[in-house]
Amino acid sequence: MPLTTTSLLLIGGAAGVALALAALALRRSAHAASESQRVAAILAVARRYALGDLSRPAPDYGDDQLGSVARGMDQAVQELGRRVDSLARDRARMEAILSSMIEGVLVVDEQGRLQLVNDAARRILKLEQDAIDRPYVEAIRHPGIVDNIGRVLAGGDTSALELSVTRDTTRTLVAQVAPVVTAGRGAVLVMHDITELRKADLIRRDFVANVSHELRTPLTAIKGYAEALLDDPDDADARERFVKIIHRQAERMERLVKDLLRLARIEAGQETVEVAPCDITALVRGIAADFEPTAAAKQQTIGFTVAPDAATLQTDAAKLHDIIRNLVENAVNYTPEGGGIDIHATVAGERFQLSVADTGHGIAPDDLGRVFERFYRVDKSRTRPGGTGLGLSIVKHLVQVLEGEVVVENQAAGGALFTISLPLR
């Protein structure tokens, strides 16, 4: 059948309509496919977020309604993620602070359950690892603390509790409970170890007792002899003797006060260090000469040697002088008649070393570690005339000021050996 113009037109029209329909159908199915892909992509992101992976980049959500909703949700999740992150960082910081604290910290919630226990509290109260969330009355075995927490939870007040909670009774702790008001009511317990404070207090009290004792002895003598003088002012012989005793005792008191002030100054960090080249030979020679008369009276000899590399030292000469002088004075005093004192300066490794050795009786092993303590004397009867019991304590502190060390030992042949070592500047 021949094709007429009309039929051609009809076919063309139908094809056109069909094409248009096909294109429309094609466009619809393409749109449906891309939308379901986008939904799948959004779901994938949601799943990733649900698993805690908030990493970007997010897919291109598109500009339609679905895209806007997805983008909005995405931003909300990202923001929440940032907040959770910052909270986690805060928490980690807080945990780091709490676990590095020497004070024990423990928090109980309104229901009386343990919410937070730092390492120190766990150690002090010997709490089990699973103590969190347990009632404090079950977890804590110290009745005083349990009482105080109960009182605070009930809205009452408590005062600080002094206790020794560990099996180590030498340690003293102070426990304080205070209310916490956050979402509900709770209690926080803080425990401080005040053992060192107590020790310092004991040392201070001992020190005051020692000073009082040391001052009272010469004071009693001065008072007694002054009264004797007043009772019998005409006895010329006694007068001279008594006045000499009074003078000697007053000097002793003066020395004690001077030593105490020196020690206080050093301990308060008020001694300035003036470093300059110091002629060690001249310094040692001068000290040996100072003690020569005392030593000669006891038939003692004082010898010294200074190694060539130790002849000069960058240090505070006045302080080094006081250190050596104290050591030599002790050596002369505690060495019996006919003995010898030997001073030796050298350089060992990176340190300047100076030793003072004597031929006395040395120091009993039990006392070796204690002679540098204030007022510590091996001879308990404290008979050494003129001694304050502070000399070696001053030596130790001065050596520390010069960034050095001082040690004492007994020589194999008998006699004490004090050695100071100072940095070579």
Query: Encoding tokens for residue 96?
Result: 């780091």
Nearer to ligand ADP, 122 or 377 (CB): 377
User: What is the number of other CB atoms lying within 10 angstroms of the CB of residue 313?
Assistant: 25
Answer yes or no: are the C-beta atoms of 110 and 153 closer than 8 Å. Answer: yes
- Work out how close the CB of 418 gets to ligand ADP at its nearest, in angstroms, rounded to a whole number: 7
Answer yes or no: are the C-beta atoms of 314 and 276 closer than 8 Å. Answer: yes
- Work out how close the CB of 182 gets to ligand ADP at its nearest, in angstroms, rounded to a whole number: 57
- Work out how close the CB of 416 gets to ligand ADP at its nearest, in angstroms, rounded to a whole number: 4
User: What is the number of other CB atoms lying within 10 angstroms of the CB of residue 46?
Assistant: 14
In 275-395 the beta strands, taken as DSSP E runs, fall at 276-279, 301-306, 312-315, 340-348, 351-358
Q: Which among 303, 369, 312 is positioned nearest to 331, based on CA atoms? A: 303
Nearer to ligand ADP, 36 or 400 (CB): 400
- Work out how close the CB of 296 gets to ligand ADP at its nearest, in angstroms, rounded to a whole number: 18
Kindly list the distances between the CA atom of residue 36 and the CA atoms of 61, 253, 269, in Å, as whole numbers in the listed order.
12, 101, 79
- Work out how close the CB of 116 gets to ligand ADP at its nearest, in angstroms, rounded to a whole number: 50
Residue 72: phi and psi, rounded to 5, are: -60, -45
Residues in contact with ligand ADP by CB under 6 A are: 330-331, 334, 358, 360, 363, 371, 376-379, 384, 387-393, 416
**Distance (Å, whole) CA 173 – CA 102:** 12
Nearer to ligand ADP, 390 or 399 (CB): 390
Q: Which among 125, 124, 105, 123 is positioned nearest to 115, based on CA atoms? A: 105
Say which DSSP state 360 is in.
S
Query: Encoding tokens for residue 7?
Result: 């039929």
Nearer to ligand ADP, 38 or 396 (CB): 396
Q: Which among 160, 155, 144, 152 is positioned nearest to 178, based on CA atoms? A: 152
- Work out how close the CB of 350 gets to ligand ADP at its nearest, in angstroms, rounded to a whole number: 27
- Work out how close the CB of 357 gets to ligand ADP at its nearest, in angstroms, rounded to a whole number: 9
- Work out how close the CB of 394 gets to ligand ADP at its nearest, in angstroms, rounded to a whole number: 8
Query: Encoding tokens for residue 125?
Result: 């109260």
- Work out how close the CB of 414 gets to ligand ADP at its nearest, in angstroms, rounded to a whole number: 10
Nearer to ligand ADP, 300 or 330 (CB): 330
Q: Which residues pair with residue 423 across a beta bridge?
A: 351
Q: Count Cβ neighbours within 10 Å for each residue of 322-336 and write b for 16 or more, e otherwise.
A: bbbbbbbbbbbbbbe
Kindly list the distances between the CA atom of residue 141 and the CA atoms of 193, 344, 409, in Å, as whole numbers in the listed order.
18, 61, 48
